[in-house]
Amino acid sequence: MARGILRIFLGAAPGAGVTFALLQEARQLQSIGRDVAVGIALDHGRLETQELMTGLELIPPLLGPHAFDAKEMDVDAVLDRHPQIAIVDEYAHTNAPGSRNEKRWQDVEELLDAGIDVLSTIGIWHLASLGDVVSDITQVPQTESVPDDVVRRADQIELVDISPELLRQRLSDGSVYPKDRVDAALANEFRLDNLIALREVALIWLADRVDEGLSKYRASHGITANLPARERVVLGLSGGPEGEGLIRRASRILSRVNGGDLLAVHVRVSDGKPEASPIALEAQRKLVTDLGGSYHTVSRDDPARTLLDFSRSVNATQIVVGVSRGRLTHMLGGGVGSKIIRGSGDIDVHMVSHHPLGSPGLPKVRSGGLGRARTIAGFALAVLLPLGTTALMSLAPELNFATHVLVHLTGVMAVAFIGGLWPAVLAAILDSLLLNYFETDPVGTLSISNPQNLFSLLVFVGAAIAVSLVVGLSAKRAQEAARARAEAATLADLARDALIEDDTIAGFLDKVRETFQVCSAGLFTKTDAGSAWNLQAHSGEEPPPAPGSEESEAVASEMADPRTALVLSGRTLTAGERRLLAAHGAHLLLLRQRHALQLKLKKTTKLAEGNSIRTSILRAVSHDLRTPLAGIKLAVTALQRQKQRPADELQEEMLDTIDSYANRLDSLIGNLLDMSRISSGSTASLTSPVTWRDAIEDALRELPRGRIRVHLAPNMPAVDADLGMLERVIANIVENALKYAADSDIVIVGSSSAAAGAINGHPCGELRIVDHGQGVPAAKVIAMFEPFQRLDDAPEGLGIGLGLAVAKGFTEAMGGTLTAEQTPGGGLTMLIRLPLSAGPSTARPETGAMRSHP
């Protein structure tokens, strides 16, 4: 009996509609005459799903032994019915205790072995390899899982996806969860960033599954030709300075298409050539990963063949290689690039030209003039070339002595250009001895009878040594030029950083330590000429010694300010490096001056803001505070003018008026005072472990409870906050929501874990205050937090526009953030994030697993 076919609908997120898609496919198959039966399918209370199940044959499920609503698939009934296609929802489901199989996917295996085709569903969060990833994203532990290889064995996998925005809208409309769970779900697992991350995880996993299937098909059918199913750009890197330009060019090529992969390959060859710079390769690897690509290293002797083989193995569609603009490269056939073009077949090849020496950068200066290899080659030629020249000239005995001298001098010049001074001196001495022995009378001896010949030999030796000195001097000048170019490039980087970057002192010292390759770098200052040096900042595990110490490895720069010193330790610097260190010291002085100016600018800006706030406060006092004062005075005057004791009803009405206006006046004055403290920078928070529940209860004590609902998980961790400030923050936000969302309930939702991310690298807790009112346009969200701002310039009766400004100021004073976002379906959601507390909480005892104020 042939095994059945398994088709799985893979959901990218909860509520994406996998069961809906499953039942739609079942109805479609039934409509074309296929025998379809539903082994198990759950509607989750959704009317649309229930309607799709109408008309389908349902095999009655088994009732679970431990719960009246726990329904399990009756495997025996499905096997007895033996339909062509069985519908089995929730592939990852764990069966009730006592069932024949532990997992539902094991039940499906039995149906497949019986020759029944199965349609099933699974969520990306149920895959065993992704369970921890999804839990980290949603902060919801995953209790159901299926081994990846089991899912990969499915004959067909179809992704059921929906845009995160549309899914949140469906959730807000009540199409996923009941209305009372919507706001809590939007604040937790259905956050926009969570849904986007889940969607990306699902697409990546499915793309790998498609690549795996394509590779198996190519291997089983012996296909070596390129199948351009997906754009893949392979980039060949030699480790030279041109690599960065090639990487960016390849990234731009890939950006022209929707989706694709960038694979950078460095082929390490063992042909005796100098190895590529590890520093350059590491920088290029980091750039590739930053651009979303992958970096690979392959060891082979033929770069062109290796690059082609790698490209075909990954089914690449394009290859990017660099080619030198030098004429010699083109004369020799173009090198690696031409070989790749000849063997690329149907893979497109992009040849990006560059200068023969690569793009400008910091060159590595040789420690010697010509290098060890050239010196050794020079000594070898100094011995072989004179002997070879003498043997060659012996074939033409009719040539005179001057001709012999010129030919030997040419050989000495060749040795000098290759090996430098000392190989050339050796060649000159050996040539002079050979000329004396074989060419001057008496021949066969080292004696010289003709003074003219002696003079010629002396001139020969002098010319050879002079040429050697010129070659050595040119090598030295080239070395100095390379060093000067390196220093100029470093200084150019310093100037660029000063213009476009906002370096800190610590960051600058890190750059200095890396530039000079020392163990540590430190900044020392002193108050006057006679005081001791004080360490201000340093880079490295241990700070360097103070200037003037006896440690030989410590080097201090000469700076224009005698009270400041930049000190390095770890190695002795050359004279050129000391000059470069002095330039770094001058830059450091400018950096400190810039920081001082920025600090003064901030203080000046703060004073200007404070003056503006005080001016606005005076304006508010002269206008907005008059209304409650006038109301109080009017009520008091009405009571005083009564000739006789006023009626109880009138007296109670006037007192209520006075009390209402007094409370309003107290709130206005409190916000004014708080804003004054915030603007003057005198707001100091006394943070301690605080639970959201305690702060909310205090904040809502004076507010009407009828429109406020609170949903807090029982295990919400404490945050570091000032309880009084946090109470004011929550109260101001809720009061603002009650004013501007008059026909909407206000929902306060707290996450059950640190799902909110981090503040300055520290995990934080989050509280969301949600309303479904008119909302705030995106262009006005930032201005909403400014002092004395009211929505649509609301008239009297809605405060003076300080509530959110005070809330934001207090939140930031406690080290948190206050932001706003649109509520799906309309309205505004305020997000309070505060750092999680590491200390014990002093919370009042919890009275229930979930607190909800009616």
Residue 176: what pLDDT? Answer: 79
At 54-64, the pLDDT tens digits run: 888 898 888 75
pLDDT class of 86 with cuts at 50, 70, 90 = very high
Residue 203: what pLDDT? Answer: 78
- The share of the chain scoring above pLDDT 90, in percent, equals 4
Q: List C-alpha distances in Å: 355 to 94, 221, 287, 323, 360.
A: 64, 44, 21, 8, 9
At 740-752, the pLDDT tens digits run: 777 777 888 876 5
Domain limits, the chain: 6-220, 232-354, 372-477, 626-678, 685-835
SS3 of residue 404 by DSSP: helix
Contact 460, 425 (CB under 8 A): no
Determine the residue type at 77. A
Q: Between 530 and 32, whose confidence is greater?
A: 32
Scan for tokens 């750059």, then name that residue: 511
pLDDT class of 121 with cuts at 50, 70, 90 = very high
* Cβ neighbours, 10 Å, residue 241: 20
DSSP-assigned letter for residue 709: E
User: Above 90 in pLDDT, residue 838?
Assistant: no
Residue 117: what pLDDT? Answer: 92
Torsion over CA of 35, 41, 43 and 47, rounded to 10 degrees?
10
CATH architecture of 232-354: 3-Layer(aba) Sandwich (3.40)
SS3 of residue 357 by DSSP: coil
Please state whether the predicted TM-score (pTM) of the whole model is above 0.85: no
| Least confident window among 317-321, 367-371, 661-665, 823-827 | 367-371
At 777-814, the pLDDT tens digits run: 776 777 677 765 555 544 444 444 567 877 888 888 88
In terms of Cβ atoms closer than 10 Å to its own Cβ (0-12, 13-18, 19+), residue 739 is middle
Q: Between 778 and 840, whose confidence is greater?
A: 778
Q: What is the mean pLDDT of residues 544-551?
A: 74
At 265-288, the pLDDT tens digits run: 887 664 444 455 667 777 888 888
Contact 418, 384 (CB under 8 A): no
Averaged pLDDT of the chain: 75
In terms of Cβ atoms closer than 10 Å to its own Cβ (0-12, 13-18, 19+), residue 71 is middle
Residue 37: what pLDDT? Answer: 92
Residues in contact with 803: Cβ distance below 8 Å, sequence separation at least 6, in sequence order: 671, 732, 733, 735, 736
Q: List C-alpha distances in Å: 429 to 432, 471, 579.
A: 5, 18, 42
Scan for tokens 């043997």, then name that residue: 391
Residue 847: what pLDDT? Answer: 39
Q: What are phi and psi of 391, to 5 degrees?
A: -65, -40
| Least confident window among 67-71, 186-190, 213-217, 470-474 | 67-71
| Least confident window among 56-60, 98-102, 233-237, 660-664 | 660-664
Q: Which residues of 576-602 are buried (b: 16+ CB within 10 A; e: fewer)?
A: ebeebbeebbbbbeebbeeeeeeeeee
Residue 274: what pLDDT? Answer: 45
| Least confident window among 276-285, 306-315, 692-701 | 276-285
Q: What are phi and psi of 69, to 5 degrees?
A: -105, 5
In terms of Cβ atoms closer than 10 Å to its own Cβ (0-12, 13-18, 19+), residue 101 is middle
CATH class (in words) of the domain with range 6-220: alpha beta
At 632-647, the pLDDT tens digits run: 888 788 777 776 666 7
Q: Could you confirm whether domain 685-835 is CATH 3.30.460.10?
A: no
User: Above 50 in pLDDT, residue 455?
Assistant: yes
User: Above 80 in pLDDT, residue 300?
Assistant: no
Q: What are phi and psi of 629, to 5 degrees?
A: -65, -40
* Cβ neighbours, 10 Å, residue 46: 18
Residue 825 structure tokens? 């379906």
Helix axes 336-343, 303-313, angle to 10 degrees: 40
Q: Between 217 and 397, whose confidence is greater?
A: 397
Question: How distant is the alpha carbon of residue 839 from its chain centre?
Answer: 31
Q: How far apart are CA 310 and CA 306, in angstroms?
A: 6
Q: Between 739 and 211, whose confidence is greater?
A: 739
Smallest Cα–Cα separation from 511: which of 575, 584, 592, 579?
584
